[in-house]
Every structure is written in C-alpha cells, then in structure tokens.
Amino acid sequence: MSNQLEALGLHKAFGTIRAVDGVDLRVPAGQVVGFLGPNGAGKSTTMKLITGFLEPDAGSVRICGDDMLQAPLAAKRHIGYLPEGAPAYPDMTAQEYLSFLAEIRDLAGSVRKQALERVFDLVHLGGVAHQRIETLSKGFKRRVGVAAALLHDPPVLILDEPTDGLDPNQKHEVRNLIRELGAEKTIVLSTHILEEVEAVCGRAIIINRGKVVFDGTPAEMDAKAPATVASNRLDWVFRTLTTTELQTQEIPS
C-alpha cells in the first residue's frame, strides 16, 4: 500500500529545545491516525512541518509523491489543514470567508458553487452562513475551520484538535464525518482525547519530547496495559509513556 503522506527523519529545534527529534511518519490512503502527546511534546510543530508552515532542520516530507521542499505548492495542494486555533477573518461572514478561500484555490463557477454547498452541508454551517465569524460560538468557529480544510476536497487532511470547543452533539457529528472521510483519505488528527482515538482512529502515534514512543493500533495500545488495570487502559498507557521529566521551557508557536 503506497503512502500518501511520508515524513522521514524530521528534526526541528528552537534554540536549545528539540521540539521534533527524528520523527518518521508514513500514512497510506484510507487510514485515520490519532497523533497524541502531552503539551509541549512536539505535536503541533510536527504538523506544521508536515504541512510546510515550518521548514525542518533535517528530514523530508512528501505528500502524494510531491516533496514539500522541492515542490511546495504541488505538495500543499494535496493537503487540507486545520491548524490550532483555526484563524479566520473575524469581520467576514462564514459564506464570505469560505468563498474567499475558494477563489484563492482557483475554484470558479459551478465548481466553486458545488464545493461551497458540499462543505456547508458536511459540517452543518447553513444556519450561520451569513453571520460574521467574530459573532460565532467557539464550536461554530471550529466548524468553519473544518470546512476550510475540506473545501478543495484534498486527499490528505491534517487536523489539529478538530473537536476542540465542540459540544457533545457537535463532537459526534465531526467524528462521524472523520470516519466517513477516512474511508478514502489520509487523515492525521492531533487530540488530547483518548476516547476520540478509540472512536475514529485505526492507528495511534504517541510523541513525547519530540520522539515517537508508540505507533500501533488502539487495540495494541490497550494491550500494553497490565491485566490489573481494569478501566481507562489507554489513559494508563499514555501516562506511562509520557510522564518523563517535564519540559521547563515553552516551544514557540
């Protein structure tokens, strides 16, 4: 099975802090990967390296065969990215903002119309289409970010905390959407919620202090917990793998 996302030997330091220290990540189409780690572990930095927002000190990234350093525009066209915080223009309505992004992506005419209709339907934004983004709840702002990532129907989705700020019903909807999209697309989602990994991910990767400390299925992760742990087994494994000496300095965003 060919990999649509291939990151090899990624390194990134901020001064004396090694934020990402030799991360390898290969993900084929049709796989949803949960990317886990404590705060400051290097998750968001790794995602910024994969999506080309940061340049690695060493290592390479290929998206659908295109090298992120040698052919950045071609590589980025394959990606839908939901960054941490999902920044948007607050004075635009949801409709105006997504139309603006469609124009930037050279979607025109009926193609643009269909793309906008598709994402508004997928993330249920119709009720706030003409409401300014600055007036939206945190949950609806997050939905606008998800819609922006899906707008050009990319084969690879990089989602940083996609359910952050959503209420339980909205989380259920977004998780169902991720499961549906994951049947064909390559999806890497960062999350702190182990329940989310069990619900939507076929694979879990745990990063700690910039290094991968686990890569396997949720069932394989569960199997690492001893029989004496009767509940919250994934939580036990996560804490066991990541409770090393805490980073004393914050990594720049």
C-beta of residue 245 within 8 angstroms of C-beta of residue 41:
no
Whether 250 has a pLDDT exceeding 50, the answer reads no
Mean pLDDT for the chain? 90
For 52, the 3-state DSSP assignment is coil
pLDDT attached to residue 244: 53
User: Residue 248: which pLDDT band, with cuts at 50, 70 and 90?
Assistant: very low
pLDDT score for 164:
80
> Which residue did the predictor score with more confidence, 246 or 36?
36
pLDDT digits (tens, 9 = 90+) for 37-85: 998 899 989 999 999 999 999 999 999 999 999 999 999 999 999 987 7
Average pLDDT over residues 13-18: 94
Q: What is the pLDDT of residues 117-133, one digit of tens each?
A: 999 998 889 899 999 99
Whether residue 142 has pLDDT greater than 90: no
Q: How do strand 186-190 and strand 156-160 relate by DSSP bridges?
A: parallel
Give the number of other Cβ atoms within 10 Å of residue 2's Cβ. Answer: 9
Q: What is the pLDDT of residue 53?
A: 92
CA-to-CA distance for 46 and 53, rounded, in angstroms? 10
The residue count of the chain comes to 253
Any idea which of 1-10, 152-161, 214-223 has the lowest mean pLDDT?
1-10
Q: What is the pLDDT of residues 88-118, one digit of tens each?
A: 899 999 999 999 999 999 999 999 999 999 9
Which domains are present in the chain?
1-78+156-245 (3.40.50.300), 79-153 (no CATH)
Q: By percentage, how much of the chain surpasses pLDDT 90?
A: 70
- What does each C-alpha distance from 157 to 66, 190, 235 come to in angstroms? 15, 11, 26
